[in-house]
Amino acid sequence: MQQGVQLKQKTEQPVNYLLFTEHYPVYTLGKNGKAENILIGEEERSKKEVEYFHTNRGGDITFHGPEQLVGYPIFDLDQFKPDLGWYLRNLEEVIILTMAEYNLHGERSAGETGVWLDAHVKGKERKICAMGIRCSRWITMHGFAFNVNTDLSFFDYIVPCGIKDKKITSLEKELGIRFRWWK
């Protein structure tokens, strides 16, 4: 007979979560982002009361702030499909379907993650939802930032997502109505 501790085999599936939040004004730079895409220095950021963090998510520079819906899905992709492209397209689809509820035609832009309006109309492209994720052992982290009533002036001080010559928009700007926020 063997002596020792017998470990109980784990039989329960991990629990998946979707966390929603709103941030104080902050710029975050993804792990492969370029610092030159933030166009203002520390002193000016301090005056504008916006913080800056380098993070381990994918993507480049973005802004998070009040009245922007930020979602952090913490999913075990082994329970669904261990494929990051599939996961990102499904995150985009959730936002596209949400926008359709407001009679807005959200779409993808070839080679660029996130959700756009008029993605295929040169000079009219507008990003409404940014995405930056990280995944470790098929557990997802980080997520999306959907501009609802977001103060878009903060995007003037960065090259959003490292993409030049395209604009950022919000539900408020597109529909001309201010959404009631959960505060």
What is d(CA 61, CA 33) in angstroms, rounded to the nearest whole number? 6
Give the number of residues written for the chain. 183
Task: Provide the token pair at 144.
Answer: 């999306």
The β-bridge relationship of strands 107-109 and 112-117 is antiparallel
Task: Provide the token pair at 105.
Answer: 């035609």
**Residue 161 annotated as catalytic:** yes
What is d(CA 70, CA 19) in angstroms, rounded to the nearest whole number? 8
Q: Residues 95, 131, 161, 168: which is the catalytic one?
A: 161
What is d(CA 105, CA 101) in angstroms, rounded to the nearest whole number? 10
DSSP 109: E
Q: Where are the alpha helices (DSSP H) in the chain?
A: 42-47, 84-100, 171-175
What is d(CA 28, CA 154) in angstroms, rounded to the nearest whole number? 12
- 3-class DSSP state of 105: coil
Catalytic center residues? 161
